[in-house]
Amino acid sequence: MHRRILLTVAYDGTDFHGFAYQEGVRTVEGELARALAEATGEQPEITGASRTDTGVHALGNLACFDTASTIPPERFAVALDQYLPEDLRVITSEEVSPDFHPRKTGWSKTYEYRILNTPRPEPMLRRTTYHYRSALDVPAMHEAAQFLTGTHDFTSFCSVHSLSPTRKRTIYECSVTAAEAGTHLPSPGSLIVIRVTGSGFLYHMVRIIAGTLLDVGTGRLQPAVIRDILESRDRTLAGRTAEPQGLVLLGYQKGETQCSTDS
């Protein structure tokens, strides 16, 4: 009997060439497939939810596969530990229905973009934050972020290399907050976190949002200009694609149906 198993996976993306399998390079999907083959003796085909880029991290990406293994569904998380590299872990595993598809759930997902805003870089955080030296105006960034919520055509915030047939997406919530120097930050400054929850995201969308909000933080752009950039549907008017190491896929809101705040 075959079961379909859903894995919630976490990884430090620094040393992976992204999630999606590519011949000859180290990918999350490739390492998962190898570990599953070793654990089950099968060659399961993996379907991932988010194909994160090189250097991008995840705390709750999703991956599915079918298996006839006798390993109990909820034991896969721990059973795979011995076969996986330590920068990749399965957090939970569970059986799902045979027609479950991780890209067709309708679940919303949340990303964070983390900016270490200190005068000097911090080696312990170099892999998991983007370091920005000069002071940033966090309230202005948060104000700007509010223009992104709702359902919009996000062409301005999408890589020109995107293959998506439609550029319409819904952002349910977008906040910019600063955590003061704490356990991880004894140096003056703060960790600025852009957190965005949406129905789905276009190619590079969160990193372009981060690059544009950085321009608001420095004063180069006024917050209300975000509305004009959205309406222009012109990628060149938004900011740059921010570096990958600041981006973390926090996870999916499983089963919740969020109310869209259409604008």
Chain residues in the site for its own copies (CB under 8 A): 10-12, 57, 59-60, 77, 86-89, 91-92, 112, 114, 120-124, 126-128, 179, 182-184, 186-187, 191, 193, 248, 250-251
* C-beta of residue 171 within 8 angstroms of C-beta of residue 149: yes
* C-beta of residue 176 within 8 angstroms of C-beta of residue 194: yes
**Backbone φ, ψ for residue 230 (5° rounding):** -55, -50
* Least distance to its own copies, CB of residue 66, Å: 24
Distance CA 126, CA 121 (A): 7
- From residue 1, give the alpha-carbon distance in Å to each of 69, 98, 259: 9, 11, 38
Q: Which residue's CB is nearer to its own copies, number 140 or number 248?
A: 248
Q: Which residue's CB is nearer to its own copies, number 22 or number 92?
A: 92
* Least distance to its own copies, CB of residue 81, Å: 8
* Least distance to its own copies, CB of residue 124, Å: 5
Q: Which residue's CB is nearer to its own copies, number 86 or number 262?
A: 86
* Least distance to its own copies, CB of residue 128, Å: 5
Greatest alpha-carbon pair distance for the chain in Å reads 60
Cα Rg of the chain, angstroms:
19
Q: Which residue's CB is nearer to its own copies, number 11 or number 157?
A: 11
Mapping DSSP to helix (H, G, I), strand (E, B) and coil, where does residue 34 land? Answer: helix
Residue 137: active-site member = no
- From residue 56, give the alpha-carbon distance in Å to each of 78, 122, 226, 259: 24, 19, 25, 28
**179: CB partners within 8 A, 6+ apart:** 185, 190, 191, 193
Annotated catalytic residue, options 12, 15, 53, 87 = 53
Give catalytic residues, as residue numbers. Answer: 53
